[in-house]
Structure 1
Amino acid sequence: MLSHITNMFKKSSWEHLRIPFSYYLMPVFWFALSSATEAKFANVLIVGIILHLFLYPSSNGYNSYFDKDEKSIGGLKNPKKVTIGLYYLSLVFFGIALLGALMINISFFVMVLLYGLVSMAYSHPSIRLKKYPYLSWLTAGFFQGAITFIMCVIGLLEGDLNNILNWDLLLPALFTTLLLLGSYPLTQVYQHEEDKKRGDITLSLKLGIMGTFNFASIWFIIAGGTFIWYFNHIGSAWAIWWFLGSMAPLVIFFFIWFSLVKKNPNKYANHSMAMTMNKISASTLNFFFIYYYLAQ
């Protein structure tokens, strides 16, 4: 047991938590905050820390431990070999997230618990949702999108499901899922070899490289259209132009990447390009949702 504790403090274990990767998941938090503008500063701080410093890293570490990737993964170009210490470290981080959630209320605690358990089911070998292409796609899309949005609003407003189950909040929650349904397969496009070796038939592997890009294009168009409709529907038509302007760098990069992949799929469907798109996507969306929150 002592060796397990020692392994928890290995540099490799902390690297696999991929804490900086939380930046890529932050847009959902900011969008939720724009729908909970009356949230107390203390709640904003606590919810932000719980999600981005503990819950997401816990999920990353747990996933890394069971995947045992030897090649590039999200946030790590050259992942080191995992140890049992990473498994226990991920559980410690999950425990801290749960304890922190209790500082808000029991409803937020239940949502954090649900998110954590589903993320475990995603990678644990006894269930391993990751090996089912459409189920894993929908699970990731809904839990990193709509469920996270709802979880954030509950934490920010100290509410419960009865308070937020209305279309004013459910619509933006569902629209965050649409964005993720498009981007999620692109995060798998450079992992086909390892996924196939493990028997994980991911959606990107099933679609193929070109199919993944075509599929993502369709969902990006759907997501963009729904956000334009949503801002117009709630009387915030001014936000449409800010949204389109913020998304322009992402759209430009995506089409450049797509054109390169058409010429040479094996060369350009790689980790570096996928992470660059993640950075642009997170940065543009974070900028827009923060501005949208402040401008209301």
Structure 2
Amino acid sequence: MFKKSNWEHLRIPFSYYLMPVYWFALASVPELNALRALAVWLVLHLLLYPSSNGYNSYFDKDEKSIGGLKNPKKVTKGLYYLSLTFFLIALVISLTVDALFFWMVLVYGLVSMAYSHPSVRLKKYPYLSWLTAGFFQGAFTFWMCIAGISDSGLVWPLSWEHWMPALLTSLLLLGSYPLTQIYQHEEDLKRGDLTLSIKLGIFGTFGFSAIWLLLGGLAFAGYFVSIDKPWAVWLFLLAMFPVVIYFSLWFILARKDPESYVSHRMSMWMNKISATALNAFFIYLVWQAQTSVA
């Protein structure tokens, strides 16, 4: 369980790419509890996401590059137990934060297991896996963060302030998700996983993602206008500018030489640029929200 390769498969640094949802949730909470916010960050990014990564790696048994690992080593049974240990620790800590947060962490973990476990393997269903990843890594995680970091918790039925930004996060993830599969067609087909990117084809994936990312951008702009923060629209567009430039260049290069540029390296750079831009933007929103309250 403590082999170096098992810890590498947890892909803890990969949590950075999922962090924008957390910061956006933080920016949407008027009464921020710093201690709970720290606990939620730890549970999600150091425990729950790595647990999911390790569990999925164990059942996928990838031999070629995957998200966060260029050359994954052969998995062992120890990785399975390590991923479950991380999940158990996440549950224990989440129970000390909030009861609803605990149940949501449990649901997220079980769904992520169903994503790759051979008895269910949501991954082999192109549209179901796309919707599942978009919803649970987006809207559900946003609500999970609200439940954990806010003293008032998540109140049902959800208010507009809670469901609208949650749906926005899912829109962006629905656009970016197929791009994470674009370089894995050969290995996914070998396992019998018909991913959405395989269904769309390489250039269909680029077009599909472009449409969803455009819809997400327009929805974000409309949201910021609706909450009387038109200044945030321009900052959001500024943050997205390097993402759009990179995406466009990637598409041009991929059309000229798919074998060289439809690759793990290019996909990871897309993740790095978009995550860095969104993290910076949402952290600024958090700072703005807290200074206005103070």
Same fold (TM over 0.5): yes
- 1:53-90 deviation per Cα after TM superposition (whole angstroms, max 9, x unaligned): 00000000000000000000000000000000000000
The answer to whether the 8 Å contact 1:108/1:158 transfers is no
Shift of 1:164: 6.6
Inter-partner Cα distance in structure 2 for 1:159 and 1:210: 46
1:3: which partner in 2?
A: none
Match of 1:191 among 184, 187, 197: 184
Match of 1:162 among 155, 162, 168: 155
Q: Secondary structure at the match of 1:80?
A: coil
Q: Size of the alignment, in residue pairs?
A: 289
Q: Secondary structure at the match of 1:162?
A: coil
Q: Mind listing any 5+ residue stretches in structure 1 that lack a counterpart?
A: 1-7
- Letter in structure 2 aligned against 1:267: S
2:117 is the counterpart of 1:130? no
Inter-partner Cα distance in structure 2 for 1:144 and 1:15: 22
1:53: which partner in 2?
A: 46
Shift of 1:163: 4.6
Which is further off, 82-91 or 255-264? 255-264
1:4: which partner in 2?
A: none
**Structure 2-normalised TM-score?**
0.97
Shift of 1:37: 3.4
1:178: which partner in 2?
A: 171
- Letter in structure 1 aligned against 2:258: P
- Letter in structure 1 aligned against 2:285: Y
Q: Mind listing any 5+ residue stretches in structure 2 that lack a counterpart?
A: 290-294
1:246-265 matched pairs, under 5 angstroms: 246-265=239-258
- Letter in structure 2 aligned against 1:32: A
The answer to whether the 8 Å contact 1:16/1:60 transfers is yes
The answer to whether the 8 Å contact 1:247/1:284 transfers is yes
2:13: which partner in 1?
A: 20
Inter-partner Cα distance in structure 2 for 1:70 and 1:113: 29
Q: Secondary structure at the match of 2:75?
A: coil
1:44: which partner in 2?
A: 37
Runs of 4+ in 1 over 2 A off after TM superposition: 158-164
Inter-partner Cα distance in structure 2 for 1:37 and 1:251: 31
Shift of 1:264: 1.6
Inter-partner Cα distance in structure 2 for 1:37 and 1:164: 18
Inter-partner Cα distance in structure 1 for 2:147 and 2:37: 11
Inter-partner Cα distance in structure 1 for 2:147 and 2:97: 9
Inter-partner Cα distance in structure 2 for 1:228 and 1:245: 12
The answer to whether the 8 Å contact 1:131/1:201 transfers is yes
- Give the root-mean-square deviation of aligned CA atoms: 0.9
- 1:76-128 deviation per Cα after TM superposition (whole angstroms, max 9, x unaligned): 00000000000000000000000010111210000000000000000000000
Which is further off, 82-91 or 149-158? 149-158
1:5: which partner in 2?
A: none
- 1:137-166 deviation per Cα after TM superposition (whole angstroms, max 9, x unaligned): 000000000000000000001445435711
Shift of 1:183: 0.3
Cα distance change, pair 221–76 in 1 and its aligned pair in 2 (3 A): same
Shift of 1:263: 1.1
2:88 is the counterpart of 1:88? no
2:254 is the counterpart of 1:287? no
2:227 is the counterpart of 1:237? no
1:108: which partner in 2?
A: 101
The answer to whether the 8 Å contact 1:104/1:158 transfers is no
The answer to whether the 8 Å contact 2:31/2:151 transfers is no
- Letter in structure 1 aligned against 2:150: L
Inter-partner Cα distance in structure 1 for 2:9 and 2:37: 26
Shift of 1:50: 0.4
The answer to whether the 8 Å contact 1:55/1:97 transfers is yes
- Letter in structure 2 aligned against 1:263: K
Inter-partner Cα distance in structure 2 for 1:11 and 1:24: 22
Inter-partner Cα distance in structure 2 for 1:164 and 1:106: 17
The answer to whether the 8 Å contact 2:20/2:279 transfers is yes
Which is further off, 159-168 or 82-91? 159-168
Inter-partner Cα distance in structure 1 for 2:175 and 2:271: 12
- Letter in structure 2 aligned against 1:204: S
2:219: which partner in 1?
A: 226
- Letter in structure 1 aligned against 2:65: S
Q: Secondary structure at the match of 1:55?
A: helix
Percentage of matched positions with identical amino acids:
66
The answer to whether the 8 Å contact 2:142/2:166 transfers is yes
